[in-house]
Amino acid sequence: MKPFSLLIKPASADCNLRCEYCFYIDHLENGNKNPRMTVETLEIMIKSYMSTDQNKQYAFGWQGGEPTLMGSDFFKKVVEFQLKYAPPGSSISNGLQTNATMITEELAKFFGEYKFLLGVSLDGPDYLHDYYRKTIGQRPSHALVMQGIGRLKQNGVEFNILTLINNQTVKKAKEIYRYLCDNGFYFHQYIPCVEFDENGSFRPFSITGEEWGVFLSELFDEWIKEDINKVSIRLFDSIMEYLIYGRYNVCYMQDNCVQYFVVEYDGGVYPCDFFVKDNLLLGNVNTNSWEELYNSQTYHYFGNQKSNWNEECNLCPYLKLCNGDCQKFRYGTPKHSKQLSNLCRGWKIFYTRKLPRFKIIADKFKNENSINGISPFKIPKFGRNKLCICGSGKKYKNCCGAL
């Protein structure tokens, strides 16, 4: 059993916002209206995960919906159990994705003290962000997000900005990029919005592949001017990681989707947060071991469908940079796994225009750093912050000696 990470949804799809493009909210409307992970399930999950051989590297991602709905007491229990069950010499990373509107002073202080790395959803300036990202009462949320970010900064919490590229933001690559940089946000992640209705047609807020390719090209042109050593864009970092080291650090680039587990509030385990579906339920942390979950035929069938791509992919010069792309973008996967990704044309536009420049940068890096191995690029912040359990048995926060 190879090492794996956990993506946990302690409040499931529940959220204090009602973003129009959110695909999670349908799960809430069709099920439990107040889903919350119990302390008992939390402890079982953490204890059992930390009993597995992960090379003493344990990665927890907290997501939703909105995970801060659980409150500070829940996350205090998280750290309590992690420190209780972590083997000596291990390190623990906690990432949390949030809309930041519920970040209290208490939560911000806690996240700073225990080195949580946050991903904050922010779709650019207020008129773009507020177009879709509204509260349950249909009020704008941008100002609330910025208040939350202010509390994170005051308490030394490291965070990345997650920006969804929808039909409103896709034409604003330069404006959004400059807005984030002008506000001192230098770690970016841009996520394409591709959602389908029951007939397989694009929903109104989705983008086309061509729009995605143009957006990425314009984003690259802005970044390359003078920010190559200053701003980390996760996609660009991932391309450089592959060109320089031959490694993948994002799941959509790989040829198999056996990557991590999603744990729902009730302990149910699934292979991917895009595919929390009844037919892909692998088991439950309350009744199944991680070995049983990992060896599930359903898990590996789902994972192997990633490489069951369209025959056209075999002729594509960029195949190794997407391996058929995320299964979500091949509508109806695994039933329609051989359908080309709806972003295929966009990736081709972007890589045709910009990959030669990436290769020049990569070659320059390899030539200049073949001796000292120091990268000119900012290290992506995803997963860098850790709690450390040193060999002495003492517990340290972000102890460099154990990393």
- Catalytic positions, please? 273
Instruction: Report CA-CA distances (Å) from 164 to 190, 191, 207, 218, 237.
Output: 6, 5, 11, 16, 18
Tokens 């690029």 belong to residue: 377
Q: How far is 328 from 330, CA to CA, in rounded Å?
A: 5
Do the beta carbons of residue 252 and residue 242 sit within 8 Å? no
Q: What is the DSSP string of 54-109?
A: STTEEEEEE-SS-GGGGHHHHHHHHHHHHHHHPPTT-EEEEEEEE-STT--HHHHH
Classify residue 353 as exposed, middle or buried by CB count within 10 Å of its CB (0-12, 13-18, 19+). Answer: middle
Q: How far is 115 from 92, CA to CA, in rounded Å?
A: 10
Instruction: Report CA-CA distances (Å) from 235 to 253, 292, 357.
Output: 10, 33, 15
What does the DSSP 8-state code read for residue 267?
Answer: S
Q: How many CB atoms lie within 10 A of CB 336?
A: 11
Do the beta carbons of residue 358 and residue 239 sit within 8 Å? yes
- Which tokens hold the place of 205? 């807020």
In the beta sheet, which residues pair with residue 60?
6, 94
Q: How far is 163 from 172, CA to CA, in rounded Å?
A: 12
Q: Strand ranges (DSSP E) for 90-220?
A: 91-98, 117-121, 159-165, 187-192
At position 4, the amino acid (one-letter code) is F
